[in-house]
Structure 1
Amino acid sequence: MLKLAFAGLTSLVIVASGPALAQGAAPGPLAQRISQGASELLNAADWKALTESRIDVIKTALQLTPEQAKLWPAVEDAIRSRAQMRYLRLQALATPRTERRDVIELMRDRADVLSQRSAALKKLADAWQPLFATLDGAQKARLKILAVYMIHEARDAVESRRMQLEDEYDGEAVD
């Protein structure tokens, strides 16, 4: 029970750190603040530590048996791979662009990104499948609770950031 409480507390700290990072927007034009998003991103070492903490929370919540633990490294690798892809994608988005881009180019770039994300999600599903098949009912229930909680918290963080940007945009001229 102590491990489950620790896992819950750790996930709360991890998820709550997103909105806290987003609260430090500096005054100035909206475009400048959006481009300053790069400074609000975690550095590579912090991103890796956050990913490792998330992995530990999931593993702790599952309380894997020795046989299940043999299937866990593939899941860890897939989680790390997706986290690294997301970090690189956010870094690229935070880099200010000076050139104007063609609408068709934007659509093709978006399609490429979605293809990469699709492949990474498929890799994650493929990694989870053998392990998930061995989970008992209690483990599946804990995984579901953790997933629903984390999705809810992530959605709240995104909505909070969106509202903050809307509030900052009100009354400002866009460059």
Structure 2
Amino acid sequence: MRKFAIAGVAALAIAATTAVYAQHSWFHDHMMGHTRMSAEDRAAMADAKIAAVHAGLKLSADQEKLWPPVESAVRDLVKIRIDRAKAREAAEAAANGADLQQPDPVTRLRNRADRMAATATALKKIADAADPLYKTLDDGQKRRLAMLTHWNREGGGWRGRFQRGMMGGDRDGDRGPDSGRL
């Protein structure tokens, strides 16, 4: 009897998991998967995320004085990413469905290196600007910073572009025909 109950619970769990996965997959494919953000959407989302981090930190008056350089540095990184997205969209529009000639592997590597260098410079600027502020944060503010900057991208959220800039790590945003993949 006990084995039958365990088997029944296992079958129910598998069925429920499959149903939830199927529902999530349908929602993602039909509601989220075909939506492309415009440059204005990206900028608006960045503004909202920066404002959320700022509000969530509940900075003291002394800490507030250290915020503007951090925000400016983060906005510089956001601008780089938005400009890349615009360039990618413009290239796709110019191709208008035509099969684009892929750059050779060496050109792709150089292009990727250029993008990574620009990202690295922006990340260093964020680190330099954030260091004085981060040193003044209490444990609660550091915990909230981690929570506010670890949103999940797969669920339509944001997986911490701000956080990766402040805490290290980055994805160089390489997509498209010259992504550097050999």
Alignment TM class, shorter chain as reference: 0.5 to 0.7
Q: What is the TM-score normalised by the length of structure 1? A: 0.62
The CA RMSD over aligned residues, in Å, is: 2.4
Shift of 1:113: 0.6
Matches within 5 A, 1:15-94: 22-24=32-34, 40-44=36-40, 46-94=41-89
CA distance in 2, matches of 1:68, 1:52: 20
- Aligned residues, how many? 123
Find out whether 1:109 has 2:111 as its counterpart: yes
Cα offsets for 1:44-78 (capped at 9, x unmatched): 3x322211111110011100001100010001101
CA distance in 1, matches of 2:132, 2:46: 22
Query: AA paired with 1:47?
Result: R
Q: Does the residue aligned with 2:153 lie in a helix, a strand or coil?
A: helix
Larger radius of gyration: 2
Query: Which residue of the partner structure matches residue 177 of structure 2?
Result: none
Shift of 1:24: 2.6
Residue pair 2:39, 2:86 contacting (<8 A) in 1 also: no
Query: Which residue of the partner structure matches residue 127 of structure 1?
Result: 129
Query: Which residue of the partner structure matches residue 37 of structure 1?
Result: none
- Any stretches of 5+ residues in structure 1 without a counterpart? 1-17, 26-39, 159-175
Query: Which residue of the partner structure matches residue 33 of structure 1?
Result: none
- Any stretches of 5+ residues in structure 2 without a counterpart? 1-27, 158-182
Q: Does the residue aligned with 1:127 lie in a helix, a strand or coil?
A: helix
Cα offsets for 1:59-104 (capped at 9, x unmatched): 1110000110001000110111111111111222232253331111
Query: AA paired with 1:41?
Result: M
